Amino acid sequence: MAGPGPVLFALCIVLCSLRMASSQAGTCANHTFSSDRAFASCTDLPVLGAHLHWTYDAASDSLHVAYRATQSPSGWIAWAINPTGTGMAGSQAIVALQNSDGTMRAYTTPVDSYSPSMAEKELSFGVSNVTAEYEGGQMAIFAVVGPLGNGTAGGVNQVWQAGDSVVGGVPQAHATSGDNVKSMGTIDFVSK
């Protein structure tokens, strides 16, 4: 009769394999969008269960982007470029939320203060083809951003955010501690 050693070893192998598969499943490189959209590059953002996918088009100095994050249907997500600073104020955002009828809505809004209205408005640079989807516990925003101008695609200040509630079609304030205040950084869309 064999001792517990081989059984424990086999169990350890199975658990380790499941853990590796689970951790790899959460990376941007393994993600397939339901709409068969594909992107040349991606990065797993460090907080808020977020990922950014993009293809940079040098000829038009524009980005085809997809920002996705884990979120409940009652919440909202946003991704922004800040052309004037590193934080939230001054950022040019794209927001996604689920309407009361279950359809997704995506729109642009400039974040001009730390208490923004979140009203739909044009940004300081061009944005087109803005759409959103909700699948598998994640919200995703799709857009074409640009032209960015002045070679800014090589070093861009980005901000991303998520909130837990929407009232009357308006995203409500997000948390002001923890990961919600760490969701910013610089990204190079050209060299990655």
Whole-number pLDDT of residue 121: 94
**DSSP type of residue 172:** P
- For CATH 2.60.40.1210, the residue range(s) in the chain are 37-187
CA 148 to chain CA centroid, Å, is 19
Whole-number pLDDT of residue 97: 94
Whole-number pLDDT of residue 26: 63
- Summary count for the chain: helices (H), strands (E): 1, 12
Residue where the block lists tokens 């085809």: 64
Q: What is the pLDDT of residues 58-79, one digit of tens each?
A: 888 899 999 999 999 999 999 9
Cα distances (angstroms) measured from residue 60 to each of 34, 67, 154, 192: 27, 20, 14, 18
Stated pTM of the model: 0.81
Residues of the chain with pLDDT under 50: 1, 5-25
End-to-end C-alpha distance for the chain, whole angstroms: 56
Whole-number pLDDT of residue 12: 32
Q: What is the pLDDT of residues 24-39, one digit of tens each?
A: 346 898 888 887 899 9
Domain 37-187: homologous superfamily in CATH: Cellobiose dehydrogenase, cytochrome domain (2.60.40.1210)
